[in-house]
Every structure is written in structure tokens, then in C-alpha cells.
């Protein structure tokens, strides 16, 4: 859901060329979003039907400018797998700080009810709105121009 939300935020500011990707440390490639994830996002006019699960790879980590983990266990796993690229990794609710703990994890709604999905979606969206100015600034600095 975060992928779709962030992609929409970028497009709304004319930054549709910003490359937003999502990948997981404990997933297999090619799975579509859950029905509840799709329905929840679509109610906010965020279409995630074209997003499929992708395993996080060394290549994706190397190419990424910023990697945002939803939860501490993902953050910790990225540290163990990719210590050379760990400087790029943040927990969403701690960003831009590197210090985080389990209390800052966004709960995974998989297997839970529609209300839990709505709550998780709202939490992710709120956090992405909070960090958007920083993300946009970093992107601007990378491109070396005013956006």
C-alpha cells in the first residue's frame, strides 16, 4: 500500500518519473496485493493492481537511494543481509532518524479484517505525508535542480 501511496504523492506533484519500488525481505516474486489491500487503497483512489511482490535483492539495495522499512524486523533483516547499504535504510515511523524500536513498527495487516487494513493504510499515509518534504528534498538534491 505504501508503494501506491508514495507513487500517487509523487504524481500529484508532477514527479511521476520518480522511481518508487517496493520489495520484501520475506516474500516471493509475483504475488498481487491482497484483496483487502487493493480495495482499501482503491477507496482512496490509489490503484495498486499493477504492483506485485518482489524479493529484495542486492541489486535493488545498491540502486536505491532510500529504503523505508515498515517494521523493525524488516529493518533488522536488511542490516543482516546488506550491511554495506544499510546507511540507506530507515523505519518509516522513525524517518529521518536511524534510531528505532519495535514501538515504531507499522503492523502488518495480512490475514486481518477490513478495519485493520483501513487503520494500517491511514497510518502509512499519515507517515508518508510527514516524510514527503524530506523525500522530495533529497530527490531534488540528487537531481541537482529545484522541483
Residue 115 is placed in which grid cell?
478495519
pLDDT mean over 47-60: 97
Cβ neighbours for 16, distance < 8 A, ≥ 6 positions apart: 10
Q: Identify the CATH number of the domain in which residue 93 sits.
A: 3.40.50.2300
141 pLDDT more than 90: no
The domain tally of the chain equals 1
Measured from the Cβ of residue 3, the count of other Cβ atoms closer than 10 Å reads 19
Distance CA 144, CA 147 (A): 9
Q: Is residue 146 over pLDDT 80? A: no
Q: Write out pLDDT tens, residues 22-42.
A: 999 988 999 999 999 999 999
The model's confidence at residue 79, banded by pLDDT at 50, 70 and 90, is very high
Range of the domain at 120: 2-143
Strand, helix or coil for residue 90: strand
* Segment 43-68 mean pLDDT: 96
Q: What is the pTM of this model?
A: 0.92
Average pLDDT, the chain: 94
Cβ–Cβ < 8 Å for 90, 66: yes
Query: What band does 116 get if pLDDT is binned at 50, 70 and 90?
Result: very high
Q: Tell me: pLDDT of 147 over 80.
A: no
Amino acid at each position: 500500500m505504501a508503494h501506491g501511496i508514495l507513487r500517487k504523492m509523487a504524481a500529484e506533484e508532477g514527479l511521476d518519473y520518480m522511481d518508487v519500488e517496493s520489495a520484501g525481505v520475506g516474500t516471493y516474486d509475483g504475488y498481487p496485493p491482497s484483496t483487502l489491500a487493493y480495495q482499501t487503497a482503491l477507496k482512496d483512489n490509489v490503484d495498486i493492481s499493477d504492483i506485485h511482490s518482489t524479493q529484495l535483492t542486492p541489486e535493488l539495495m545498491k540502486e536505491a537511494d532510500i529504503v523505508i522499512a515498515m517494521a523493525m524486523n524488516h529493518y533488522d533483516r536488511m542490516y543482516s543481509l546488506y550491511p554495506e547499504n544499510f546507511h540507506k535504510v530507515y523505519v518509516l515511523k522513525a524517518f529521518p532518524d536511524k534510531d528505532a524500536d519495535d514501538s515504531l513498527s507499522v503492523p502488518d495487516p495480512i490475514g486481518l479484517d477490513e478495519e485493520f487494513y483501513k487503520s494500517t493504510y491511514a497510518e502509512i499515509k499519515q507517515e508518508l505525508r510527514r516524510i514527503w518534504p524530506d523525500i522530495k528534498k533529497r530527490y531534488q538534491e540528487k537531481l541537482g535542480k529545484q522541483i
